[in-house]
């Protein structure tokens, strides 16, 4: 799919696209490299959108029903776009055939070479308020906050628990940070627990650089 937005704008079109996208992902998890948790989260957003769309199309719908449907649609579509950006668009392990099956853009093969990240992010925590922690990051050995050329951002891996994490494998949640300042809005049940995190640079092809050190902080 080339030259236009790969997600149809109509409600029925976007719903059908999401349904196919999820079904194909579930059949090709290994090749796509998309974590099961990401697909499960997308499935929940899709189901919520599908439910609220049906309610918004009912004869007794109100303005609130339509607004809730639009909000659910935005969450589901944005989640699918993020998965595409992080794992599918430029991942060399993902074939163009699979991209066609998923219904996402198939890029031309002649593009400027994007280097694999060679440096690591450095970051620090800053307490902002209760359950709010800011992460500031920059490139290794640099005083500037700019993201290195060819990188889409810093891929943050994190977890919360009763003790600091010492293994990268235990950092099971992810977020792509595209600005050098990121604020965690943590739920009340995490107050007093420990937030552990590490980062890697990720380029626009989905290739990742070396790990930063794991850092931890008590959630205020």
pLDDT at 107: 73
Q: Rounded to an integer, what distance in angstroms lies between the CA atom of residue 45 and that of residue 76?
A: 5
Which of 102, 135, 158 finishes a domain? 102
Query: Considering the domain boundaries, does residue 114 fall inside one?
Result: no
Residues 96 and 131 reside in one and the same domain: no
Of 41, 74, 102, the residue that ends a domain is 102
Give mean pLDDT in consecutive 10-residue pieces for the chain, a chain of 220 residues. 70 92 92 90 96 90 92 95 90 86 77 76 94 92 74 89 94 87 90 95 86 96
Do 15 and 63 lie in one domain? The reply is yes
21 & 79 share domain: yes
Confidence (pTM): 0.52
d(CA 170, CA 136): 22
Residue 108 within a domain = no
Q: Please indicate, yes or no, whether residues 95 and 17 belong to a single structural domain of this protein.
A: yes
Question: What is the pLDDT, as a whole number, of residue 108?
Answer: 66
- Give the range of the structural domain holding residue 175, as residue numbers without chain letter: 121-218
**pLDDT value of residue 3:** 46
Residues 133 and 97 in one domain: no
Q: 140 and 62, same structural domain?
A: no
Same domain, 128 and 190: yes
Is 21 a member of any domain?
yes
What is residue 148's predicted lDDT score, i.e. its pLDDT? 79
Q: What is the pLDDT of residue 122?
A: 92
- The per-residue pLDDT for 4 is 60
**Same domain for 214 and 129:** yes
Overall domain count for the chain: 2
- For residue 190, what is the domain's CATH number? 2.60.40.10
Does residue 205 lie within any of the structural domains? Answer: yes
One domain, residues 91 and 152: no
Q: Are residues 29 and 73 in the same domain?
A: yes
Please report the pLDDT score of residue 113 as a whole number: 63
Same domain, 90 and 131: no
Q: Are residues 169 and 94 in the same domain?
A: no
Query: Of 70, 102, 134, which residue constitutes the final position of a domain?
Result: 102
Tell me whether residue 5 is in a domain: no
């Amino acid at each position: 799919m080339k030259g236009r937005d790969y997600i149809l704008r109509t409600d029925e079109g976007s719903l059908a696209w999401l349904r196919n996208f999820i079904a194909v992902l579930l059949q090709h998890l290994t090749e796509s490299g998309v974590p099961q948790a990401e697909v499960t989260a997308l499935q929940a957003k899709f189901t919520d959108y599908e439910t609220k769309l049906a309610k918004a199309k009912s004869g007794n719908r109100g303005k609130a029903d339509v607004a809730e449907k639009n909000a659910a649609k935005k969450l589901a579509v944005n989640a699918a776009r993020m998965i595409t950006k992080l794992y599918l668009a430029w991942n060399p392990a993902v074939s163009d055939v699979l991209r066609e099956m998923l219904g996402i853009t198939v890029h031309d093969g002649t593009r400027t070479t994007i280097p694999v990240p060679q440096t690591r992010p450095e970051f620090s925590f800053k307490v902002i308020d209760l359950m709010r922690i800011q992460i500031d990051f920059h490139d290794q050995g640099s005083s500037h906050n700019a993201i290195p050329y060819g990188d889409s951002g810093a891929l943050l891996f994190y977890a919360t628990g009763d003790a600091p994490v010492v293994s990268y494998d235990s950092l099971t949640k992810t977020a792509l940070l595209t600005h050098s300042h990121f604020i965690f809005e943590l739920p009340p049940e995490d107050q007093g627990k420990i937030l552990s995190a590490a980062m890697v640079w990720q380029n626009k092809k989905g290739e990742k650089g070396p790990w930063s050190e794991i850092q931890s902080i008590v959630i205020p």
